[in-house]
Amino acid sequence: MKLTILGSGVTMPSLTRNAAGYYLKIGTNHVLIDCGSGTLRQLLKAKVKWQELDYIFISHRHPDHITDLMAIMHAIYVAGHFNNQRIKPLVLVGYKGFKQDYHYFRQATFPAGRESYSIKIMEIKQSAKQFSSWRVRATSVEHGGLEVNAYRFEHQGKSLVLGSDCDYNQNLVKICHQTDLAVLDCMMPIVKKLPGHMSPKECGQTAKEARVKKIVLTHINPKYDNINLKKQAKKYYQGPVVIAKDLMTIKI
C-alpha cells in the first residue's frame, strides 16, 4: 500500500494545508478516502489520474470531507463529452445515511446527467468488506454525535487506519489494534483541546493503548503549525510520530 496525503488540513482555508483527502494505492486499485474542497486539484498535484479512481470512501458529511465528491463526479461526467468516456465501474462507500446524502447532493448539482459507467453506492457500519485483494473494516467513532466511519485497510499482511474526525474513543482504539500506520485527527494542541477532536495527548494515548507501530498526526489547524505537536504526542507514545504535510507519501 502507498498512501498520499492530499489534504492535512481542516475546514478553514489554508495555502499549505488542504481540506481532508487521502489517496491510497492498494493492490491494483486507486482509492480516495475523503474529498474536502480542493481535493480534485490536489489529485492533479499528486499526479493521480482522477478519472481512474476505483473506490471513493467518505468518512462523514462535514464539508471538509465531502465537498469535492460532486466536483469529481461532475468532472468525470463532463470529461466523457471530450473523448474521455469512463467505462470502468466506480464504488462509493460511506457512513450510515451516505446513500441519501449522495442522492441529495447529486439532485441538487447535476441531476440531468447520466453516467457512461456503473456506480455502486454502499454504506458500511461496524462491519468488514472484501474488495478484490484487500479488505476494509469500518467502525463508528465519536464526533459530536454525527455518523463518522474510521476505516482500516488490510492488504498482504499490512494495515492502515484512517481515523477521520473524532475524539478519543474505544472504537478507535479497537480498530487501531497493532496497525502498521494510524492516521489520526490532531486538530489542536493539548491546551486548546476541543470536544469531538483529539489533541496530541489523545492521539498518543490511542496509539499506545492500541500498540500502533507508527502514527501520522493530521487534520491540523494551520493556526497551530508553530506548536510542536510531535513533542506533545511523544509524551504519551514512544513509537514514531509524523506530522502530516500535503502531498507527503508513505509506504505501508
Q: What is the binding site for Zn ion (CB under 5 A)? A: 62, 64, 165
31-58 in b/e form (b: 16+ CB < 10 A) is bbbbbbbbbbebbeebebebbebbbbbb
Of 53, 42, 51, 38, nearest to 4 by C-alpha is 42
Q: How far is the CB of 134 from Zn ion (least distance, A)?
A: 25
Q: How far is the CB of 154 from Zn ion (least distance, A)?
A: 24
Of 153, 119, 117, 120, nearest to 31 by C-alpha is 153
Q: Is 92 or 187 the residue whose CB approaches Zn ion more closely? A: 187
Q: How far is the CB of 221 from Zn ion (least distance, A)?
A: 10
Q: Is 17 or 155 the residue whose CB approaches Zn ion more closely? A: 17
Q: Is 63 or 89 the residue whose CB approaches Zn ion more closely? A: 63
Q: How far is the CB of 18 from Zn ion (least distance, A)?
A: 12
Q: Is 64 or 246 the residue whose CB approaches Zn ion more closely? A: 64
Give 204: exposed, middle or buried? Use CB within 10 Å, 0-12, 13-18, 19+: buried
Q: Is 123 or 185 the residue whose CB approaches Zn ion more closely? A: 185
Q: How far is the CB of 30 from Zn ion (least distance, A)?
A: 23
- The string of DSSP letters for 188-223 reads S-GGG--TTS--HHHHHHHHHHHT-S-EEEES--GG
